[in-house]
Structure 1
């Protein structure tokens, strides 16, 4: 097949992906705003935000993973023009997301004491506690927002969540500025101010997105409560897709969270440097997440139509596109490695350490981007169990042991931690590609196949 068979899909891929990219980037920019503003307070407060968010990211990965179950089911129903089925998945999905948000808030609140047993600097743990209390509560509005977002994504209407997220960023930056530093009539709350800014912004984006979707005629039929009451089998289908997806995200985010804890054992400066590099890498990762969602939507649509040759061609076009985009970011990280960390902090040692980590971060852009988009394509096929096993092997059997052994102070330190991340991401990308290649060819050969959840 000629290269143009894939490149001609770039425009449509980007049309769907761009709002998702900007929306996902918006979530990271909330963290970026916190980091930059808190970084002005010093290395210890910045490290505290890193430590507090390490637990939040674990919870967030679980919650977002569950919400991702909504998108392929809505996309498949949309491809088959079955509005009734789509409405059922949407309404059950919102209830699932609300329940998940409450459960994650309670889990984070109960898990706080764990921070005292992770060999972290005392001053950092003490600063992280009140920050974590407030950000944990914000999981509730965030998860309900995710439910509405994944519904819109499944219908290829990705722009509305982007509008909500951009608005939330403006709200977050404004309240961060007022509450961290105590501007005008507002008290100086420092880290707690950053957490309150995040909480307020997440309620804002939930109400904003609900209002937009509820007011659009094209979504009206989905908001009419289904005649049939809640059905156990629909929740089961959502859970069968959502739980393995949550584990996939948990395994990856868990490795990166482990890197935060390992960096913390090296001291405050290495932990702050790790947070800077991690935040920068997270922003480029969200670009790949946008294309991953696109892969889920487009593969799900083609699955609903039973157009399996088109399904494979479109999926491969997303793989090629993310590879090219991430290659540009990799070059940018290497060229700008000494300059980018200066946006976060003026500590010379932290800037130097972060610049070294960005060299490795540049190398794993390609693997990280590919693995998340291939996972998206597999999710569109509703194939989630085997990919979950692959993620576990890549991150925890291969990647994390390398992080642990090379990340010791007397071996390679922070550089060793990030080499382990690079190896784990690369292993994931390779295994997932072989899985997609096998399944897509099998679909074409047999014409129709029921893939296992």
Structure 2
């Protein structure tokens, strides 16, 4: 009987998780496309796009925690069938993301000057700056799209997001190709051209997802855009209280990877390119447990909204176990086919063996990464977000980053030592996160 209950909840998590995984993969696919096409252009373009895209990702991830808070809040009210608070929460989320769009624009522009400040190679810094300043307006507008996107996730209805991203993906490929090397009326702009292509897709995505939500008959009964309430600090503050710790926890992990990238960029374009290949592919695989984590946030929050503690427990345990199993399969694949993966990204004979070696290290920590992000998804569904932020600081910055520097420069393992430090940080965070989840869901809690 118990096994049947676990199996039913596991299928429910997969039913929501698979579309969310696909959504995450589509979002990451644009970054993969940029990396592959930049790598086929030349090493300078690959390195510049690598640094610039990581800069933008830091700003985006700083805001995405608020989006996750929107999803968790909407899902809990959905579990209670509280239509009034669903509408109010959505409207306040639009206002909040509008204000954060302004902040994001300023941060993206400021980030364009970071490569110069940290001493990146002159050519890389110049091209990265062009990329970020070109992307800034539409990159900031993308932040506004988090309100409808995470509303749909909170209502367990991700299909519109998938359709829009599927439509934009081939457009992104074409625009990248046209602006990268030049075609017909399109000038050859290199890395800056890829920024233009990405900016166009971001703008279209934001317009389309708002339009879809406004016109879709599914949401007419909620009257999401009628009698639009003015900004209310109480409700926006509630979203920020949940979302800021999520953002900080996410940014601590992302900043760890980004710092490794900046350190590597001080060496040469070969190491920078190899590092970007490993980072890009590991980020692509990470979309699987990240999608499951989003599903767990929604399903756990929904169960708590219905005050169903048994279902909360079962969904938490089965979801974390599923994520660990999938990432074990991923680790085996990366160990067996690392050379093929590196060859897919680049044909540079110097980059390939270094990237293959890094992928071997990445394969080991993928399992820990899957466990920690799923545990974090459960805790977000419980609105227990501050502790995850503390765990991230301990695992990534008190242990992971110092160990990476020690392995790289004291023990002499170089770029492989830096990534080994990340693995240690992820292991600690996974251990602390699962322990916290068990404390929250154990029967005598």
Q: Does TM-score exceed 0.5, indicating one fold? A: yes
Q: Which residue of 1 aligns with 2:431?
A: 430
1:297·1:380 contact (CA, 8 Å) conserved in 2? yes
Aligned to 2:417: 416
Give the Å deviation of 1:381. 0.3
- What CA distance in whole angstroms lies between the structure 2 residues aligned with 1:316 and 1:82? 28
Structure 1 counterpart of 2:114: 114
Distance in 2 of aligned mates of 1:212 and 1:54: 30
- SS at 1:209 equivalent: helix
Q: In the superposition, relative to structure 1, how do residues 404 and 136 fare at CA in structure 2: closer, same or farther (>3 Å)?
A: farther
TM-score, normalised via structure 2 length: 0.96
Check conservation: 1:281, 1:361, Cα contact below 8 A: yes
Distance in 2 of aligned mates of 1:93 and 1:112? 28
Structure 1: how far apart are the matches of 2:192 and 2:323? 37
Contact 2:95 2:231 in 1 (8 A): no
- The aligned length equals 444
Note the 1:230-269 alignment, pairs <5 A: 230-269=231-270
CA distance in 2, matches of 1:239, 1:69: 8
- Structure 1 residue 124 displacement after superposition: 0.9
For residue 451 of structure 1, what is the aligned residue in structure 2?
none
In structure 2, what is the equivalent of residue 151 of structure 1? 151
1:434 Cα offset (Å): 0.8
Contact 2:214 2:225 in 1 (8 A): no
Q: Is contact 1:284-1:329 (8 Å) kept? A: yes
Residues 171 and 200 in structure 1, CA contact (< 8 A), matched pair in contact too: no
State how 1:80-229 maps to structure 2 within 5 Å: 80-220=80-220, 221-226=222-227, 229=230
Structure 2 counterpart of 1:9: 9
Shift of 1:365: 1.0
- Distance, in Å, in 2 between the alignment partners of 1:180 and 1:40 is 10
Structure 2, unaligned runs of 5 or more? none
Note if contact 1:276-1:344 (Cα within 8 Å) is conserved in structure 2. yes
Q: Aligned partners of 1:212, 1:62: CA distance in 2, in Å?
A: 26
Distance 1:2 1:348, change over 3 A: farther
Mapped partners of 2:232, 2:102: distance in 1: 21
Q: Which residue of 1 aligns with 2:390?
A: 389
Residue by residue over 1:63-120, the C-alpha shift from the partner in whole angstroms, topping out at 9 and shown as x without a partner, is 1112111011000000000010011111111111122122111112123222112132
Q: Using the alignment, how far apart are the partners of 2:410 and 2:269 within structure 1?
A: 13
Whole-Å Cα distance in 1 between the matches of residues 197 and 369 of structure 2?
30
Match of 1:58 in 2: 58
Please tell me whether residue 72 in structure 1 is matched to residue 102 in structure 2: no
How far off its partner does 1:385 sit?
A: 0.8
Residue correspondence of structure 1 range 12-23 to structure 2 within 5 A:
12-23=12-23
Structure 1 counterpart SS, 2:112: helix
Alpha-carbon distance in 1 for matches of 2:250, 2:397: 13
